[in-house]
């Protein structure tokens, strides 16, 4: 008679096989895995709990995203951060496609990214900004995204919902936007705003 751990393993494998070969699924998806303290394994292709971690990537989907958006080789699969992004977007009332576009433009989906100016993580938060947003670890995707989305909400409120001005402020600071009464005449900032809005349309 198989032991308890073997039964749990068999159950987990059966669930995984069912998810990966289900005939009704029109497309492949990443498979996520979570193990209970008692050893029970759970698998899903639509995680609703942050304890689920990517177990098996949808290689075709990952390749398609990298090709369509020209993501760098060090980028993580954007789908990996989908649950965090959706949760924070709902919490702060910011369009998830805008959040994805900012992450794409800021770090190329690299949680370890550090800019020459010292901005850190997926949404490239400056240390002082992160401190004000109560982000304890800029390299923790969940903390970083939540802080970045909260900051976007603040900027959107400050500029009365004007996404272009909010993005300009995200890139060059609120002081620059206030000084010039609009998007600053900086090539970098103007290019940044146009790029993020373009990415945003693709993520919709």
- The residues annotated with a catalytic role in the active site are 106
Q: What is the b/e burial string over 140-155, where b = at least 16 CB atoms within 10 angstroms of the residue's CB? A: ebbbbbbbbbbbbbbb
Q: Residue 156 is inside which H or E element, if any?
A: helix 141-158
Candidates 97, 96, 140, 146; CA nearest to 120 is: 140
State how far the Cα of 45 lies from the Cα of 55, in Å rounded to an integer.
10
The two tokens of residue 139 are 């390299």
The two tokens of residue 148 are 């970045």
Alpha carbon separation from 6 to 1, 33, 54, 135 (Å, rounded): 10, 17, 22, 41
The two tokens of residue 40 are 């029970």
Decide: helix, strand or coil at residue 108. Answer: coil
């Amino acid at each position: 008679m198989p032991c308890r751990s073997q039964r749990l393993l068999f159950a987990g494998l059966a669930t995984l096989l069912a998810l990966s070969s289900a005939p009704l699924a029109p497309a492949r998806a990443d498979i996520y895995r979570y193990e209970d303290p008692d050893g029970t394994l759970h698998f899903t292709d639509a995680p609703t709990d942050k304890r689920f971690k990517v177990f098996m990537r949808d290689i075709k989907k990952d390749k398609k995203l990298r090709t369509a958006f020209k993501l760098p080789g060090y980028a993580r699969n954007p789908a990996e951060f989908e649950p965090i992004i959706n949760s924070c977007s709902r919490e702060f009332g910011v369009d998830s496609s805008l959040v994805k576009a900012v992450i794409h433009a800021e770090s190329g989906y690299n949680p370890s990214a550090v800019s020459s100016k010292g901005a850190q993580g997926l949404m490239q938060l400056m240390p002082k900004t992160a401190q004000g947003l109560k982000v304890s670890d800029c390299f923790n995707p969940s903390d970083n995204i939540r802080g970045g989305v909260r900051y976007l909400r603040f900027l959107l409120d400050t500029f009365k919902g004007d996404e272009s001005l909010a993005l300009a402020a995200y890139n060059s600071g609120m002081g620059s936007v206030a000084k010039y009464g609009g998007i600053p005449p900086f090539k970098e900032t103007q290019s940044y705003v146009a790029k993020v809005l373009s990415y945003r349309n693709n993520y919709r």
